Structure 1
Amino acid sequence: MAEYEEWRPEYCNISDRLDPGQIQDLVKPLNQSWPSLLRNETNLELWSHEWSKHGTCSNLSQHGYFAAALALDKLKLTNLTKILADGGVVPSDEKTYTLGEISDALAKGTGFSTYLRCSQNELKYGETLLYEVLQCVDRSGEKLVNCTTPYWVTRCLDPDKIKIPAWFYGQ
């Protein structure tokens, strides 16, 4: 099975690089709503990656893509920490959850299926961490849709014991 990163619809234009000048007026709200959580990645690097991987597959301009992401944020369907907590899944350095518990909480809170991706804790061998939640949108970027791409790989080596560390989410 191919990894998600290797699969793209044929209409994507990955050679279209993000021009920071095109989103200059959106930087402040993007810094608040879409920050990089990686220590070695700037917000601009994250947004460039997201534009290349996903934005170039939309029918939107660079500005339109990021403005649409911010508009979705206002629908209150993208505050995933709150949605997970409402579903009984709370970041913790001790408690673990199943992939199903996490998926169900997100689906209940948003009304749509998502993709989840895990990573392995580099500091504690064998520990599986929730790394990324992907929400799918229509090509106009205006509404969430169920994620259905058949090529998704979760990378969750132990889908019955996934941690969502409190430190990662500023708890």
Structure 2
Amino acid sequence: MNEDLKNCDPKDQLNPSKISDLTSELQRYWPSLACPSRSNMRYWKNEWSTYGTCGNYVLNQTQYFKAALNLKKEVNLLDVLIKGGIKPDGGSYDLYNASETIRMAVGYMPGIFCVKDKAGKTLLNLIIGCTVDGINYDDCPGMLGSDCGPSFKFPPLK
């Protein structure tokens, strides 16, 4: 999934104490949609090691999660998709239309990732924003659904 991410440091593990003041906001604005639970720490640890440690800029763990929260508060991607007719109803949706719906709302091309379920159906899994300096978002080069194909199913949220 992250072949296009550069300068990542997977050895830099998230220290939960660094984001303890943000936990309630993270629970509200950035829960795991694939595996919701009372504690999303495993999910946030994965997001940090997969995305937060990448780039030519330096954001510490607290700064990374604060920046993510600010973006999530500014733009609710689920609302953007629903307003664009792309709903978590198990339906099949065109990848290009989904990316354009998001691009028109936020001003940059997102990274969109999918997974295959046990039946081999392609499911929307993750939408990310890319940044060049840790603060300002920009197009995500080469991350438009390379694992999605031309369409995906948007499963109901748990």
Report TM bin, short chain: 0.7 to 0.9
Question: Percent same amino acid at aligned positions?
Answer: 33
CA distance in 2, matches of 1:153, 1:163: 13
Corresponding residue number in structure 2 for 1:129:
123
CA distance in 1, matches of 2:52, 2:83: 30
Query: 1:5, CA displacement in angstroms?
Result: 2.7
CA distance in 1, matches of 2:77, 2:143: 23
Q: Deviations 1:109-148 (Å, cap 9, x if unpaired)?
A: 21110121112232xx2422111112112322x2221111
Query: In structure 2, which of residues 127, 132, 138 is the aligned counterpart of residue 145 of structure 1?
Result: 138
CA distance in 2, matches of 1:60, 1:44: 19
User: What TM-score results when the alignment is normalised by the length of structure 1?
Assistant: 0.79
- 1:6-155 matches, cutoff 5 A: 6-10=3-7, 12-39=8-35, 42-57=39-54, 58-76=57-75, 79-93=76-90, 95-122=91-118, 125-140=119-134, 142-148=135-141, 150=142, 154-155=146-147
Query: 1:155, CA displacement in angstroms?
Result: 1.6
Aligned partner letter, 2:11: S
**Total equivalences in the alignment:** 155
Aligned partner letter, 1:145: D
CA distance in 2, matches of 1:34, 1:91: 17
Structure 1, unmatched stretches of 5+, are none
Corresponding residue number in structure 2 for 1:163:
153
Displaced runs of 4 or more, over 4 A: none
CA distance in 1, matches of 2:101, 2:143: 22
Q: Deviations 1:62-109 (Å, cap 9, x if unpaired)?
A: 111111111112222xx111111222222223x321111211111112
8 Å Cα contact 2:113-2:125 kept in structure 1: yes
Per the alignment, do residues 16 and 6 of structure 1 end up closer, same or farther by CA in structure 2, a change over 3 Å counting?
Answer: same
CA distance in 2, matches of 1:17, 1:31: 20
Q: Which is higher, the Rg of structure 1 or of structure 2?
A: 1
User: What TM-score results when the alignment is normalised by the length of structure 2?
Assistant: 0.84
Per the alignment, do residues 38 and 91 of structure 1 end up closer, same or farther by CA in structure 2, a change over 3 Å counting?
Answer: closer
Aligned partner letter, 2:81: L
Q: Report the aligned-residue RMSD.
A: 2.3
Structure 2, unmatched stretches of 5+, are none
